[in-house]
Amino acid sequence: MTDEKQTGLLDFEAALADLESIVDKLEQGQLTLDESLKLYKQGEMLSQRCKDLLDKAESQIGIQTESND
Protein backbone atom coordinates (compact mmCIF):
# COMPACT_ATOMS: atom_id res chain seq x y z
CA MET A 1 0.00 0.00 0.00
CA THR A 2 0.94 3.60 -0.27
CA ASP A 3 1.60 6.18 2.38
CA GLU A 4 0.36 9.78 2.24
CA LYS A 5 3.45 11.09 0.43
CA GLN A 6 3.35 8.35 -2.21
CA THR A 7 -0.41 8.71 -2.68
CA GLY A 8 0.10 12.24 -4.00
CA LEU A 9 2.36 10.88 -6.73
CA LEU A 10 -0.01 8.22 -8.06
CA ASP A 11 -1.80 8.59 -11.36
CA PHE A 12 -5.55 8.00 -11.44
CA GLU A 13 -5.40 4.38 -12.54
CA ALA A 14 -2.87 3.38 -9.86
CA ALA A 15 -4.78 5.19 -7.11
CA LEU A 16 -8.03 3.56 -8.19
CA ALA A 17 -6.43 0.10 -8.31
CA ASP A 18 -5.04 0.56 -4.78
CA LEU A 19 -8.43 1.79 -3.59
CA GLU A 20 -10.19 -1.23 -5.09
CA SER A 21 -7.67 -3.53 -3.39
CA ILE A 22 -8.40 -1.90 -0.03
CA VAL A 23 -12.15 -2.26 -0.54
CA ASP A 24 -11.72 -5.95 -1.33
CA LYS A 25 -9.68 -6.52 1.83
CA LEU A 26 -12.15 -4.64 4.00
CA GLU A 27 -15.11 -6.53 2.53
CA GLN A 28 -13.51 -9.89 3.36
CA GLY A 29 -13.80 -9.08 7.05
CA GLN A 30 -10.61 -10.93 8.02
CA LEU A 31 -8.70 -7.92 9.39
CA THR A 32 -8.23 -6.74 12.93
CA LEU A 33 -9.79 -3.46 13.96
CA ASP A 34 -6.42 -1.70 13.80
CA GLU A 35 -5.69 -3.11 10.33
CA SER A 36 -9.14 -2.07 9.15
CA LEU A 37 -8.71 1.47 10.46
CA LYS A 38 -5.30 1.80 8.83
CA LEU A 39 -6.65 0.60 5.48
CA TYR A 40 -9.70 2.85 5.81
CA LYS A 41 -7.41 5.87 6.30
CA GLN A 42 -5.37 4.88 3.25
CA GLY A 43 -8.59 4.45 1.30
CA GLU A 44 -9.71 7.94 2.25
CA MET A 45 -6.42 9.39 0.96
CA LEU A 46 -6.67 7.41 -2.27
CA SER A 47 -10.28 8.45 -2.74
CA GLN A 48 -9.30 12.10 -2.33
CA ARG A 49 -6.44 11.65 -4.81
CA CYS A 50 -8.84 10.20 -7.38
CA LYS A 51 -11.30 13.05 -6.80
CA ASP A 52 -8.54 15.65 -7.17
CA LEU A 53 -7.35 14.12 -10.43
CA LEU A 54 -10.90 13.94 -11.81
CA ASP A 55 -11.52 17.57 -10.83
CA LYS A 56 -8.30 18.58 -12.59
CA ALA A 57 -9.29 16.68 -15.73
CA GLU A 58 -12.76 18.24 -15.68
CA SER A 59 -11.21 21.69 -15.38
CA GLN A 60 -8.86 21.03 -18.29
CA ILE A 61 -11.76 19.84 -20.44
CA GLY A 62 -13.68 22.99 -19.57
CA ILE A 63 -10.75 25.18 -20.55
CA GLN A 64 -10.33 23.30 -23.84
CA THR A 65 -14.04 23.60 -24.61
CA GLU A 66 -14.03 27.34 -23.89
CA SER A 67 -10.99 27.94 -26.07
CA ASN A 68 -12.60 26.07 -28.97
CA ASP A 69 -15.71 28.30 -28.91
* DSSP one-letter code for 2: -
- Burial readout 5-25 (b: 16 or more C-beta within 10 A, e: otherwise): eebeebeeebbbebbeebeeb
d(CA 66, CA 15): 29
Report pTM: 0.83
For residue 1, pLDDT over 60 is answered with: no
Residues 28 and 17: their CA atoms lie apart, in Å, by 17
Region 27-40: mean pLDDT is 98
The share of the chain scoring above pLDDT 70, in percent, equals 96
What's the pLDDT tens digit per position in 4-26? 778 889 999 999 999 999 999 99
**18 vs 68 pLDDT, higher one:** 18
Ordered domains of the chain (ranges, CATH): 4-68 (1.10.287.1040)
